[in-house]
């Protein structure tokens, strides 16, 4: 299952759009709570490229990052769809500035929300949730587990319940998932080198 990563701003933030945030952050410090380590590094690279003064506060989860921005302990937060911040934004208690992932929010009825890659970001997060087993697991067991997970993910009731909280479960075949992980690992190395400069 993949998940769109979203950049939120507190209602009291001195900006309403991502462009206004970028202008503001060139001369003012902004704090951002981070729901995933990878997305935090993406924002760090984006800030470096655009000379933005963004201090990133690492959190253990999207839920924790949501609580930080909802409590106005930070100005912005990065979390995913389906989190408390997402629910708050839908009810008007937070602002959505952009998505960090390239997919965008058109499937959620928000085609106007910009994506970080369209804003010139050199790195974007790709967030996918999956399962792995130890390499010594017998092949027949792996095959059985794949079949069970595929059946569960494609179950109509599971699809309905997940979509109610704006998550989109989908079965990703093992090769596609492994290819994505390799791409993420390659990007992470490039980003690591970029942030060291």
25-81 tens-digit pLDDT: 999 999 999 988 888 999 999 999 999 999 999 998 989 999 999 999 999 999 999
Shared domain check, 151 and 86? no
- Supply the range of the domain harboring residue 150: 139-196
- Provide, rounded to the nearest whole percent, the portion of the chain with pLDDT above 90: 71
The answer to whether residue 125 is domain-embedded is no
pTM of the predicted structure, to 2 decimals: 0.87
Shared domain check, 164 and 110? no
Shared domain check, 74 and 158? no
The answer to whether residue 70 is domain-embedded is yes
Q: Give the DSSP per-residue string, the chain.
A: -B--EEEEEETTSS-SSHHHHHHHHTTS-EEEEESSHHHHHHHHHHHHHHT--EEEEE-SSHHHHHHHHHTTSSSEEEEETTSHHHHHHHTTSEEEEEESSTT-BGGGTBTTS-BGGGGT-S-----B------TTS-HHHHHHHHHHHHHHHH-HHHHHHHHHTT-B-----HHHHHHHHHHHHHHHHHHHHHHH-
Low-confidence ranges of the chain (pLDDT < 50): none
The answer to whether residue 131 is domain-embedded is no
Total domain count, the chain: 2
């Amino acid at each position: 299952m993949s998940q769109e990563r979203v950049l939120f701003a507190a209602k009291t933030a001195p900006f309403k759009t991502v462009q206004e945030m970028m202008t503001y952050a060139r001369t003012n410090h902004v704090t951002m709570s981070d729901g995933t380590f990878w997305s935090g590094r993406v924002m760090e690279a984006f800030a470096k490229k655009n000379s933005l003064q963004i201090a990133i506060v690492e959190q253990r989860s999207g839920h924790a990052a949501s609580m930080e921005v909802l409590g106005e302990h930070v100005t912005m937060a990065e979390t995913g769809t389906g989190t408390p911040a997402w629910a708050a934004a839908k009810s008007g208690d937070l602002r959505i500035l952009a998505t960090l992932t390239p997919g965008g929010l058109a499937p959620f009825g928000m085609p106007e929300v910009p994506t970080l890659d369209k804003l010139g970001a050199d790195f974007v997060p790709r967030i996918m949730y999956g399962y792995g087993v130890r390499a010594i697991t017998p092949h027949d067991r792996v095959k059985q587990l794949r079949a069970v997970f595929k059946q569960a993910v494609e179950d109509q009731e599971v699809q309905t319940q997940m979509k109610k909280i704006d998550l989109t479960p989908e079965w990703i075949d093992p090769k596609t998932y492994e290819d994505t992980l390799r791409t993420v690992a390659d990007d992470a190395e490039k980003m690591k080198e970029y942030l060291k400069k």
